[in-house]
């Protein structure tokens, strides 16, 4: 992939700039741009989990956010190609994998994919196991060793606010880390970009709040 294509994709998958918010059904959600990676050095045990998962090459590319470039992409992206500055760029699992040095392995899984909920109890202490995932649970319900891990998953991978609340699909990333499942991250990123672009097309008057993959 050409360097300009890499830069465009990079700016699309990082969150909105610092201090900006986006509306959700549950209220306004703060999205903070993940431009610093010192946390993985400060907590090497957490960084090791992300390295073993194979995601650090992707995370290391998340630096700057360019709203004009992101908007141009989102408004023209049809699911497999977009026009930015007169240039045509093609987006697929393959180009995403090449850009971020990711392997195309594992399940082609997205947010509504099936998960064996019994596997999720390993991340929850007694008294909090077998929760009602349809309503979400507090991040504080997780075992302490997994709280920061999942916070960073939401910050860098699923790109959402509402950091104090987690849902069933977030837990699939932890299952990837423990080896219970294997998630195809290039596919997840592709589906996220497609969903983000569809929201921009549908809600043009508030498109800025969708410029991150939800």
User: How does pLDDT run across 86-102, given as a tens digit for each residue?
Assistant: 888 888 999 999 988 99
Round to whole Å and give the CA distance between 184 and 176.
10
Cβ-proximal residues to 38 (8 Å cutoff; 6+ apart), any chain: none
What pLDDT score does 173 carry? 94
What pLDDT score does 14 carry? 43
Using the structure block, give the residue that is written with the tokens 């929201």.
199
Give the pLDDT confidence of 110-158 residue by residue, as tens digits. 888 889 999 999 999 998 899 988 888 999 999 999 999 999 998 888 8
3-state secondary structure 151-180: HHHHHHCCCCCCCCEECHHHHHHHHHHHCC
Six-digit token string for 186: 């290039």
Q: Is the pLDDT of residue 177 over 50?
A: yes
Six-digit token string for 46: 């957490």
Of the candidates 34, 82, 77, the residue with the CA atom closest to the CA atom of residue 58 = 34
Of residues 20 and 51, the one with the higher pLDDT is 51
Round to whole Å and give the CA distance between 86 and 14.
23
Cβ-proximal residues to 122 (8 Å cutoff; 6+ apart), any chain: 178
Q: pTM for this structure?
A: 0.74
Q: Please compute Rg for the chain using Cα positions.
A: 17
**Burial of 141 per CB tally in 10 Å (0-12, 13-18, 19+):** middle
């Amino acid at each position: 992939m050409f360097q300009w294509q890499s830069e465009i994709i990079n700016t699309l998958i990082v969150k909105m700039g610092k201090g900006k918010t986006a509306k959700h059904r549950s209220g306004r959600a703060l999205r903070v741009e993940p431009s610093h990676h010192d946390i993985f050095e400060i907590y090497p045990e957490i960084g090791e989990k992300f390295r073993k998962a194979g995601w650090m090459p992707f995370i290391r590319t998340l630096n700057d956010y360019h709203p004009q470039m992101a908007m141009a992409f989102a408004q023209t992206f049809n699911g497999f190609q977009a026009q930015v500055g007169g240039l045509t760029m093609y987006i697929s699992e393959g180009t995403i994998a090449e850009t971020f040095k990711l392997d195309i392995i594992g399940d082609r899984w997205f947010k509504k994919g099936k998960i064996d909920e019994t596997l999720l109890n390993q991340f929850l202490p007694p008294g909090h196991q077998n929760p009602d995932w349809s309503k979400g649970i507090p991040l504080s319900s997780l075992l302490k060793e997994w709280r920061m891990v999942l916070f960073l998953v939401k910050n860098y991978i699923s790109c959402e606010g509402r950091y104090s609340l987690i849902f069933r699909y977030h837990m699939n990333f932890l299952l990837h880390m423990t080896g219970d499942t294997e998630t195809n991250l290039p596919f997840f990123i592709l589906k996220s970009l497609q969903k983000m672009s569809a929201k921009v097309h549908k809600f043009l008057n508030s498109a800025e709040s969708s410029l991150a993959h939800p």
